[in-house]
Structure 1
Amino acid sequence: MTAKKLLAASLLGLSLMSAARAQTEIQWWHSMGGALGDWVKDLARDFNASQKDYKIVPTYKGAYDESMTAAIAAFRAGNAPHVLQVFEVGT
């Protein structure tokens, strides 16, 4: 294989590797409604725009007790979020 073909194959391989690397998605369940919920969405949007490695996905899960119930059910089903914002009983 000539040096040019080897270089071309190497560059193609590297470009495919970088294209295959996807963002790490982080599920964030929270209990912030209203203006604070909007603030959480803005915070996640700004963070996501600031870099390309991670994507924060904030999801409102209702009041604290509803979030806690949803988190317990998700944990038992093997689908717990990466981050959960709850009151002190949940920590």
Structure 2
Amino acid sequence: MKPLHYTASALALGLALMGNAQAVTTIPFWHSMEGELGKEVDSLAQRFNAENPDYKIVPTYKGNYEQNLSAGIAAFRTGNAPAILQ
């Protein structure tokens, strides 16, 4: 019975330590908003990132809507699409 207890304890300890080793989930966000709207997007992302340390939104301006969409399609075709495209 003791070997089972030791195994269970080691497994529980390993799982507990694994929870601390998780990396931050990065969320790429490509957008078409420039000027004041682009600044607001950056501000919203910064606030979200500050309130949610397990996640990091990375907003990236990709040009006007057509340029952004073309970049998104090209990225999708190569398997590198962003998580959010707006």
Normalised TM-score (structure 1): 0.75
- Deviation of 1:58 after TM superposition, in Å, equals 0.5
Could you give the per-residue CA deviations for residues 29-71 of structure 1, whole angstroms, max 9, x where no partner exists? 0000011101000000000000222111101000000001101
Unmatched 5+ stretches in structure 1: 1-8, 86-91
Residues 1:71 and 2:79 aligned together: no
What SS class does the counterpart of residue 26 from structure 2 fall into? strand
Percentage identity across aligned positions? 60
- CA drift of 1:13 comes to 4.2
1:39 paired with 2:40, answer yes
Q: Which amino acid aligns with 1:71?
A: G
User: Aligned partners of 1:51, 1:25: CA distance in 2, in Å?
Assistant: 11
Query: How far apart, in 2, do the equivalents of 1:67 and 1:81 lie?
Result: 11
SS at match of 1:59: strand
Cα distance, 1:17 vs. partner? 1.9
Instruction: Give the secondary-structure state (helix, strand or coil) at the position aligned to 1:21.
Output: coil
Unmatched 5+ stretches in structure 2: 1-9
Amino acid at match of 1:42: S
Equivalent runs, 1:1-91 vs 2, <5 Å: 13=14, 16-85=17-86
